[in-house]
Structure 1
Amino acid sequence: MANRAKSGFLANMSHELRTPLNAILGFSQLMNRDPALTPAQKENLDIINRSGEHLLELINDILEMSKIEAGRVTLNETNFDLYDLLETLIQMLDLRAKTKGLQLTCNLTPDIPQFVRTDEGKLRQVLINLLGNAIKFTESGHVILRVDAGQVQFQTEGEASQLCLFFEIEDTGPGIEPSEIKQLFAAFTQTETGRKSQQGTGLGLPISHRFVKLMGGDINVKSAVGQGTTFQFNVQVAIGDVVDRKPQPSAQHVIGLAPDQPAYRILIVEDRMENRKLMVNLLQPLGFEVQEAENGKVAIEYCERWQPHLIWMDMRMPVMDGYEATKHIKAHRQGQATVIIALTASALDEERAQILAAGCDDFVRKPFLEDTIFEKMTKYLGVRYIYEKTQPLSLQTAREVTTSHLSVMPTEWLAELHQAAMCARSKRIKTLIQEIPEEHSLLMEGLTDLVNNFDYEKILALTQP
């Protein structure tokens, strides 16, 4: 009964939380396309986007923990390029490390295979959690990721050979008290250092622990107060087949449809007005013919008289849901030629199978990026776009703030800044930043970057009395 209750909680809360987030992040992306925006407005939209993404991370963590406790988490094993995964993670986290003056390195032993088979998403999440924590709590020195491989164990004939991968993340941070190590992997529990940072939910390490166990390994930690911490974990993988490197998403903005194409008819089926409006505002200005339907029953009527090329189908709706509507449309010859892509706010992996079984050609999770919508339409309809011409960006050095930069400000101002950072009062911090004299613009920009990236612990460290 408890597991069924948790499953119900997951389905409902995932939908209820992700649906409004889809509108928040979606409309902020749309507004960012407006060329008339002032720099201040662009900065405000960037803050909305970052805050929404931060909120999405917290929601995902809570839902992931609930899925684990309900026994709803399974391995989704695929072949992937391990070198590519590690390279992407280091590139993603390197800027964050450099802004703190840290050296982030990755050391692989020569016997590490390039292609392996396990759950790539779960391995990535474990590494992001551990490396992210190491960077967050380390103020000086280095963070090192080491990867080693155990001996290959040849299985019975016909089975892939198995390998044990060993990962080690070492930092030179403050370390963890011996009394706190036992509670590291308990849900919603943080160490003293974590509580001082006033960030996170205390779920990153428990989720990582469960994922590692699921992948046939274990995780442990060694730490010395004042010297640093080392997390070690291992996972069981199979030697994988060669796979193509994943194409990198385009950084260009779509501004219209390329000439000499059909007049594409797109039907948006969604019970929430704000989500319908988001999709309409995204597609109609580009040149698509767009119609809206508030439920599956209305969608079927549109299909019979308008014959859309593609339907974006929400799966949870009153009157008639997306599952029933899709089955009805695909049951007719006319509807079989129509591409149906599900839009789902569910966090459950098994819903993918249900969606495809209903007849959908593909699915996209909410909240989505606009690039994902355009890529799917290219994949299934062959749509070609006109892209905005962008000027190459010049490389900028990170605006690193040091205590010497802050020494130009009065003691009372520093005390106020410290107190505001301790309470995570971003508005108050920005008001204080406005008091910095114009000749110290680098200090203003550096502090603004810190508060925009929720790096309150850095501000606390710089203003420590």
Structure 2
Amino acid sequence: MATIPLSIAKYIRSMWMAEMIITYLRIDKHGNLVDWGGYPQHYGLTNLATGKPVTEQVGFLEGLLSVPHTQVLQFVRVANGRCAHVHIMPLDNGTYVLMLDATAEHDRQQKMQQQLNELSILTYRQSQWLQELETTRQQLAEEKRLLNEVSELKSRFIATLSHELRSSLTSIVGYTELLDEAKQADVREANYLSSVKNNANHLLSLIDNVLDQAKLEAGQIVLQPSSCDVKQLIADLKPLFFPTAQEKGLAFETDIQPKMPARVILDEWRFRQVLINLITNALNFTEQGFVRITLGWQAGRLEFSVADSGPGISEQAQPKIFAPFHRESTTHALPGAGLGLAISHHIVNLMGGELTVESSLGQGSIFGGFVEASLAQPTASTDENVSTATEAKAKILIVDDNADIRNLMEIYLEDGGYAAITAGDGAEAIILALQTEPDLVLMDMQMPVTSGYEAVQQLRSDNFTKPIIALSASTLAQDKSYALEVGCDHYLVKPVSPEELLNTIEQILLKQHLA
């Protein structure tokens, strides 16, 4: 290997010497300074004197000069604050002390150590944060579990409350209507009967609104789109409100635009609920003039409005008109809990639409907007087949644990020309259905011991193929879905009117006949 030229070696040595800023001290065996060289002033050694004890001039050497062999002290802090590597080398006639500047190296190491310390602290804090994050995640998971439990309990409470209230109201409303149709009471008794009927229907409306508001808050309202004849829907609503309008001397008008499709796809029950709430409000607040329903169709939108000539709503009150439990001040008390508009507004939003109000004091009000809908496929007319499908007296099995409701359904069916047999629980229903082979089963879903869901599952597993209509007091979408899933062909909610019940049965039997 070639040797480094002397000139290059000298250059390297000079560079190294300059960078290290070397200082040496020669000390005799008595500890006195003999001489020095290099750059002592760089280390703050400015008043060195030969022949005097070196420890009095360089304090950090105290006790270090008697070492038996070379010792290296790294990063010694000298008088002026600099750092030096100090080499103490004992010789026969004394000691040499060599000082090499280490300030830059010390600063680098100190900075590196600081970075390591900061990294260590950051790592520790990161570990703490991760632990806190995991603790928070576990807490959120537990809170979510508890919220789900509360939501489920709330759902069950709503379902149970709905079942108990609707079951009782089914009997009250149903038997009241039967008495009203009998027309055998005198005028005073007829008024009593009318009062019971009106208040029962009002109570049912309040229950529906309160339960719907609870379901909206729990996010449990799910739309059930189906084919809807809008013109027929309005025709069905008119008889509900015309007597009230007539009694108050109001004109009750409907206006359906000519280009309205024959059938559209939307949640008919929910859209009907919106219209009922808007019409009810209009009739309640209007003392003279008119209430007008308008329906139109525009490019996938079913547009609607309910206008009245009532007292109107102030501009200040309009922003909160759709808030739950909000009621406008009037000169007389009005029925209701102030939920109808809030529920209608939410339902319209769920249906992809918008509900707004236009009003001013003394000028009446217009509540209107739109919901999204699509065109339904036209269906062939089946009127000519209805008589054929219902000529024979169909036999229907009524299943309900409530004797009053069983008797009421039996009256409805017999008045509609059907033969009825009854069962008081799911187990009895299974036996009767398999033995008597009815043309249709009307099944209450919420019964003790053997529920309607269990009875339907058992019947379907035993190859019972006739139609089964679920009759339930629950308005929860999941209960309806479950009923259809286990084998029901249709789902009716209590209380059900005789017209709705008989029309549903007729359509299902007709479909069965044509299949």
What TM-score results when the alignment is normalised by the length of structure 1?
0.65
The CA deviation at 1:213 is 0.9
- Among 320, 327, 344, the alignment partner of 1:190 is 327
Q: Residues 123-167 of structure 1, C-alpha deviation per residue, up to 9 Å, x if partnerless? A: 3332332233223212233444455555x4xxxxxxxxxx34444
- Aligned residue in 1 for 2:308: 171
What is the alpha-carbon distance in structure 2 between the residues aligned to residue 196 and residue 92 of structure 1? Answer: 23
Q: How does 1:235-254 map to 2 (within 5 A)?
A: 235-242=371-378
- Aligned residue in 2 for 1:76: 224
SS at match of 1:268: strand
Structure 1 range deviating more: 33-42 or 341-350: 33-42
What is the alpha-carbon distance in structure 2 between the residues aligned to residue 73 and residue 27 of structure 1? Answer: 30
- Aligned residue in 1 for 2:210: 62
The CA deviation at 1:52 is 1.9
The CA deviation at 1:321 is 0.9
- Among 343, 346, 364, the alignment partner of 2:492 is 364
- Aligned residue in 1 for 2:69: none
- Aligned residue in 1 for 2:361: 225
Q: How does 1:444-455 map to 2 (within 5 A)?
A: none
Q: Residues 305-326 of structure 1, C-alpha deviation per residue, up to 9 Å, x if partnerless? A: 5554543322111221111122
- Aligned residue in 1 for 2:450: 320
Q: How does 1:252-401 map to 2 (within 5 A)?
A: 266-280=396-410, 291-303=421-433, 305-333=435-463, 336-376=464-504, 378-379=506-507
Q: Note the aligned Cα RMSD (angstroms).
A: 3.6
The CA deviation at 1:189 is 1.7
Indicate conservation of the 8 Å contact 1:102/1:140, yes or no: yes
- Among 134, 150, 153, the alignment partner of 1:5 is 153
Indicate conservation of the 8 Å contact 1:313/1:340, yes or no: yes
- Aligned letter for 1:20? S
What is the alpha-carbon distance in structure 2 between the residues aligned to residue 112 and residue 291 of structure 1? Answer: 43
What is the alpha-carbon distance in structure 1 between the residues aligned to residue 270 and residue 429 of structure 2? Answer: 37
- Ranges of 4+ aligned residues in structure 1 off by more than 6 Å: 244-247, 284-289
Structure 1 range deviating more: 136-145 or 8-17: 136-145
SS at match of 2:215: helix
Indicate conservation of the 8 Å contact 1:84/1:245, yes or no: no
What is the alpha-carbon distance in structure 1 between the residues aligned to residue 296 and residue 416 of structure 2? Answer: 50
Indicate conservation of the 8 Å contact 1:346/1:365, yes or no: yes
- Aligned letter for 2:210? I
- Aligned letter for 1:311? V
The CA deviation at 1:23 is 1.5
- Structure 2, unmatched stretches of 5+, are 1-146, 384-389, 511-515
Q: Residues 7-27 of structure 1, C-alpha deviation per residue, up to 9 Å, x if partnerless? A: 122211110110111121222
The CA deviation at 1:32 is 4.6
What is the alpha-carbon distance in structure 2 between the residues aligned to residue 363 and residue 105 of structure 1? Answer: 32
Q: How many residues align?
A: 357
What is the alpha-carbon distance in structure 2 between the residues aligned to residue 349 and residue 246 of structure 1? Answer: 30
What is the alpha-carbon distance in structure 2 between the residues aligned to residue 57 and residue 147 of structure 1? Answer: 24
SS at match of 1:197: coil
The CA deviation at 1:286 is 8.9
SS at match of 1:192: coil
Change beyond 3 A, Cα 1:209–1:330: same
Q: Residues 397-422 of structure 1, C-alpha deviation per residue, up to 9 Å, x if partnerless? A: xxxxxxxxxxxxxxxxxxxxxxxxxx
- Aligned letter for 1:189? H
- Aligned residue in 2 for 1:125: 273
Structure 1 range deviating more: 117-126 or 104-113: 104-113
Q: Residues 218-267 of structure 1, C-alpha deviation per residue, up to 9 Å, x if partnerless? A: 222233222322333233333444457998xxxxxxxxxx9x957x6654
Q: Residues 142-196 of structure 1, C-alpha deviation per residue, up to 9 Å, x if partnerless? A: 444455555x4xxxxxxxxxx3444444433222233322321111121112x83
The CA deviation at 1:354 is 1.6
Change beyond 3 A, Cα 1:81–1:246: farther
What TM-score results when the alignment is normalised by the length of structure 2?
0.59
Indicate conservation of the 8 Å contact 1:81/1:245, yes or no: no
The CA deviation at 1:378 is 4.5
Indicate conservation of the 8 Å contact 1:269/1:276, yes or no: yes
Change beyond 3 A, Cα 1:295–1:125: closer
- Among 92, 97, 116, the alignment partner of 2:264 is 116
Change beyond 3 A, Cα 1:68–1:227: same
Change beyond 3 A, Cα 1:339–1:243: closer
What is the alpha-carbon distance in structure 1 between the residues aligned to residue 432 and residue 191 of structure 2? Answer: 41
Higher RCO structure (Cα 8 Å, ≥6 apart): 1
Change beyond 3 A, Cα 1:96–1:49: closer
Indicate conservation of the 8 Å contact 1:107/1:145, yes or no: yes
- Structure 1, unmatched stretches of 5+, are 153-162, 248-257, 383-465
Change beyond 3 A, Cα 1:171–1:341: closer
- Aligned letter for 2:398? I
